[in-house]
Structure 1
Amino acid sequence: MVKQERALRTRQALIRAGAELFAQEGFAAASLSTISRSAGVSNGALHFHFENKRALARAVEEEALAMLRRILQEALDRDAGALPALVDATYGLVSRIADDAVVRAGFELGDDPGRGASASLRREWQLWVEETVGRAERDGWLAPGVRAADAVTAVVAATVGFEVLGGEDKAWLAEERVEGFWKLLLPRLTERHALVIAGRG
């Protein structure tokens, strides 16, 4: 049991160290020796857990994807409606990108040309936004004249923009930026914008 716990801690340390380096330098530039050193383990320990750098990157991505899905589920579990869930999810997502290297790296790895085909967290986010905005439209949350496709474009473009720009300047990941975006968009998006904002208070 002790051995298993130690092995799990080592694996998690390697995933976190790998995520930090992938987020800072990209997949191609990150070296396994730097990752193992940062995690405080030997190269042998790294190779015991991960066959190669691609396997480590896959583990980072899988953990990031699990976290993204948790954020989305938590937003839905509040059961305040599709549009409030969408707003809550953007706050949760941008906050996680700011604070969690695994989530940050997971987004970047999926679109790193050096890795070839892999799951994209940006695509997963886009599909969830499309589904949630569609539900908001069916439930009567969208204002007359607002097309669901236009709302999806605005939300996905803005949140991916926060994520990409936040890689260079953390100020883009501040809660105030997300708040400013929604204060600008919500009055156009829904006649019940005051209800959505009040729900976050």
Structure 2
Amino acid sequence: MAEQERAVRTRERLIGSAAETFCREGFAVASLFVISAQAGVGSGALHFHFAGKAALADAVESAALDRLRIIAGVASREGAGRLQCLVDVTHGLALGLRGDVVLRAGFGLGRDTARVTPGGLREHWRCCVEEAVAEAGKARELRPGVAPENAVTAVVAATAGFEALGSREEVWLMPRTIARFWELLPALAAGDRLAALEPEGSSGD
């Protein structure tokens, strides 16, 4: 059992080290030697867990997806309006991107020209937004005349921009920046829902 736990910890260290290296250097330049040394393990241990750099990048993206699912699950709490949940999950995503190198690397790998793979975090994020907007439409939370696909396009494009810009300047991921985007809610939300929405995100208390 102790050996199994050690193997799990080694794998997690390698994923964390790879995430830091991919964020810092990009997929193409990242060195397996640097990743293993930074994790404090030998190259043999790295290759025991991962066949190569592509497999390691897959593991980083998978771990990042797990984090994104947790963020979406926390924001989608019972009893909250669907638009407010969408506001909250964008704030949660920005917070995660500021503080979690694995989440940041997962998104970064998705736009790395040396490693473009179908699906991934962006596809999952788009699906999350589509689901939230569809539910908001069913609950009559959208302003009359707003096409759900237009709302999805706006939210996905904005958050993708915040993520890309935030990889260089953290101000793009700060709560006030996300709130400024959601202050455009009058163009999206039905009038009787607008007053209850909090662009800064709700605490859930």
Q: Which residue of 2 aligns with 1:200?
A: 202
Instruction: Tell whether 2:114 aligns with 1:91.
Output: no
TM-score, normalising length: structure 2: 0.91
Counterpart contact for 2:82–2:132, Cα < 8 Å: yes
Q: Which residue of 2 aligns with 1:141?
A: 141
Q: Which runs of 5+ in 1 are unaligned?
A: none
| Structure 1 residue 77: Cα displacement | 2.7
Tell me the secondary structure at the aligned position of residue 77 of structure 1.
Answer: coil
Q: Which residue of 1 aligns with 2:17?
A: 17
Counterpart contact for 1:64–1:102, Cα < 8 Å: yes
**Superimposed CA distance per residue, residues 146-183 of structure 1 (whole angstroms, 9 cap, x where no aligned partner):** 22122112111111001000111111111111111112
Instruction: Tell whether 2:16 aligns with 1:2.
Output: no
Q: Which residue of 2 aligns with 1:34?
A: 34
Instruction: Tell whether 2:113 aligns with 1:82.
Output: no
| Structure 1 residue 10: Cα displacement | 1.0
| Structure 1 residue 200: Cα displacement | 1.3
| Structure 1 residue 131: Cα displacement | 1.8
Q: State how far apart, in whole Å, the 1-side matches of 2:79 and 2:98 are.
A: 26
Q: State how far apart, in whole Å, the 1-side matches of 2:175 and 2:25 are.
A: 25
Q: Which residue of 1 aligns with 2:153?
A: 153
Q: State how far apart, in whole Å, the 1-side matches of 2:98 and 2:23 are.
A: 12
**Superimposed CA distance per residue, residues 125-157 of structure 1 (whole angstroms, 9 cap, x where no aligned partner):** 112211211111111001122221221121111
User: RMSD across aligned C-alpha pairs, in angstroms?
Assistant: 1.6
Counterpart contact for 2:109–2:116, Cα < 8 Å: no
Tell me the secondary structure at the aligned position of residue 66 of structure 1.
Answer: helix
Counterpart contact for 1:19–1:102, Cα < 8 Å: yes
Q: State how far apart, in whole Å, the 2-side matches of 1:19 and 1:194 are.
A: 41
Which of 144-153 and 191-200 deviates more? 191-200
Tell me the secondary structure at the aligned position of residue 145 of structure 1.
Answer: coil
- 2:98 corresponds to which letter in structure 1? A
Q: State how far apart, in whole Å, the 2-side matches of 1:162 and 1:103 are.
A: 14
- 1:112 corresponds to which letter in structure 2? D
Q: State how far apart, in whole Å, the 1-side matches of 2:83 and 2:35 are.
A: 41
Q: State how far apart, in whole Å, the 2-side matches of 1:40 and 1:118 are.
A: 32
**Superimposed CA distance per residue, residues 82-137 of structure 1 (whole angstroms, 9 cap, x where no aligned partner):** 11111111011111011111001111212333235343211211122112111111
Instruction: Tell whether 2:188 aligns with 1:189.
Output: yes
What is the aligned residue count?
Answer: 200
Q: Which runs of 5+ in 2 are unaligned?
A: none
Q: Which residue of 2 aligns with 1:128?
A: 128
Report sequence identity in percent: 50
TM-score, normalising length: structure 1: 0.93
